[in-house]
Structure 1
Amino acid sequence: MFKFLFLLAILILSSDAAVQDFCVADLKAPESPSGYSCKSVTNVTVDDFVFSGLSAAGNTASIIKAAVTPAFAAQFPGVNGLGISAARLDLAAGGVIPFHTHPGASEILLVVQGSITAGFVSSANSVYLKTLKKGDLMVFPQGLLHFQVSDAGYTSVGYVFFSSSNPGLQITDFALFANDLPTKLVGATTFLDEATIKKLKGVLGGTN
């Protein structure tokens, strides 16, 4: 019995020794699919765990009349490896965050100003759509297409929170029309006519 308890104590102590409190991102090292490597603990400061970038409004003077200010590991090293991150959404009147996905995380949106219509499409093509007011929350499951549109006559603001320090992002419109994918292939896969595709490529910077 004594030998068993002694071995159990050794295992517990060994397990505790393996626990790492945090892994502050070393932004000077390359990023991998599993995140950034850890900065030496001797170089970690409290500032690694504080991010003030979400206090300022983003610049909405763009084609989508919206701005996303991220607080991912690349901007906020302290969240690296913790499975959390955040961002600020600013949507001017008529602003839109187009259909997009986050392949690495689920998302929760909290509206703090204005009114935002948000929705997502399930893998069964069911649509879940709601107009959100100040204080409302909506969750978007990982990997599903979703969007946000401002319904107010002034700038709407929301904060989004992710279940990853690097949720990833792919915007559908840009994936289709902001690159050199041949127009014929885009037409074959979207059933859009060539004139419409070329117009969208012209707007979003695509070629071919």
Structure 2
Amino acid sequence: MMKNPSTSPFCMLSCLIVLLALPLPPLLADPDSLQDFCVADLSASASGNGFPCKPASKVSSDDFFFDGLSKEGDTTGIFGTNLTSANVLSFPGLNTLGVSMNRVDFAPGGVNPLHSHPRASETVLVIKGRLLVGFVTTGNVYFSKVLRPGQLFVIPKGLVHFQRNVGKNKALAFTSFNSQLPGAAVLPLNLFASKPSIPNNVLRKTFQVEDSVVNSIKSKFGS
């Protein structure tokens, strides 16, 4: 009597491989939100992807309103820029929504220094002035564009990038993120102003410079 080929070990293994390769059914995907909003309770510790919800009975219209991006920032600092963030820490209504924005003011020649956002992609919208915006890929390819008012540039998640005012007057840009708290690794501060400091011999070897150069750069960032 012949065996049913569908019950052979080879067939069973083949069928299992096919099943594993199929897309997961919708029931196994992340569920849709079961609430309209979750305004952050900033007095509690964050866990997972956000803060615990403020009781709905204590939520008001002000929790969904933020006025911080309407004010021009002080650009007299070392980089000639000022960044105002509208993320979950300053705007609790963004909690669990996966969006945030920054306002970036630039003095003439000001630069938003080389940095990356580990948790978000970014779009840059110029409102006033002319900005050179650029990023570098992990393959060491550099892309850039000079933007004028109304123009957009997108920066993929996690890549090192910058913005620089190349006009003669002040500039203003709004940046948006697909994260309520995108994070920012600012390279000059990470490298030369960390607490405790990165050892000089590591920086010296990395940049192929003398100790005096490393110390000079550290002194500019207060480290």
In 2 relative to 1, CA 32–189 (structure 1 residues): closer, same or farther, beyond 3 Å? farther
**What residue is the counterpart of 2:220 in the other structure?**
203
**What residue is the counterpart of 1:170 in the other structure?**
185
- What is the distance in 2 between the residues matched to 1:133 and 1:194? 41
Deviation of 1:189 (Å):
2.5
Do residues 104 (structure 1) and 119 (structure 2) align?
Answer: yes
RMSD of equivalent CA atoms: 1.5
Do residues 193 (structure 1) and 220 (structure 2) align?
Answer: no
- What is the distance in 2 between the residues matched to 1:99 and 1:33? 28
Do residues 48 (structure 1) and 63 (structure 2) align?
Answer: yes
Letter in 2 for 1:190: F
> Among residues 28, 37, 41, which one is paired with 2:52 in the alignment?
37
- What is the distance in 2 between the residues matched to 1:39 and 1:190? 48
1:62-81 matches, within 5 Å, as 62-81=77-96
Q: C-alpha deviations, 1:25-76, integer Å up to 9, x for none? A: 1111123352211111111111111111100001101000100000000111
> Which segment is superposed worse, 189-198 or 166-175?
189-198
Deviation of 1:190 (Å):
2.8
In 2 relative to 1, CA 43–157 (structure 1 residues): closer, same or farther, beyond 3 Å? same
- What is the distance in 2 between the residues matched to 1:120 and 1:64? 18
> Which segment is superposed worse, 108-117 or 176-185?
176-185
- TM-score w.r.t. the length of structure 2 is 0.83
Letter in 2 for 1:56: K
1:127-206 matches, within 5 Å, as 127-179=142-194, 180-206=197-223
Q: C-alpha deviations, 1:106-137, integer Å up to 9, x for none? A: 00010000000010001111100111111110
> Among residues 126, 129, 145, which one is paired with 1:114 in the alignment?
129
Q: Secondary structure at the match of 1:166?
A: coil
Q: Secondary structure at the match of 1:175?
A: helix
Letter in 1 for 2:209: L
Structure 1's unaligned 5+ residue stretches are 1-10
> Which segment is superposed worse, 36-45 or 165-174?
36-45
Do residues 19 (structure 1) and 50 (structure 2) align?
Answer: no
> Which segment is superposed worse, 174-183 or 114-123?
174-183
Q: C-alpha deviations, 1:136-176, integer Å up to 9, x for none? A: 10001110000000011111000000000000011001111
Structure 2's unaligned 5+ residue stretches are 1-26
Letter in 1 for 2:108: A
Q: Secondary structure at the match of 1:154?
A: coil
- What is the distance in 2 between the residues matched to 1:33 and 1:162? 19
- What is the distance in 2 between the residues matched to 1:185 and 1:178? 14
- What is the distance in 2 between the residues matched to 1:188 and 1:199? 16
- What is the distance in 1 between the residues matched to 2:122 and 2:74? 22
- What is the distance in 2 between the residues matched to 1:176 and 1:123? 19
- What is the distance in 1 between the residues matched to 2:168 and 2:112? 16
State how many pairs are aligned: 192
- TM-score w.r.t. the length of structure 1 is 0.88
Do residues 87 (structure 1) and 102 (structure 2) align?
Answer: yes
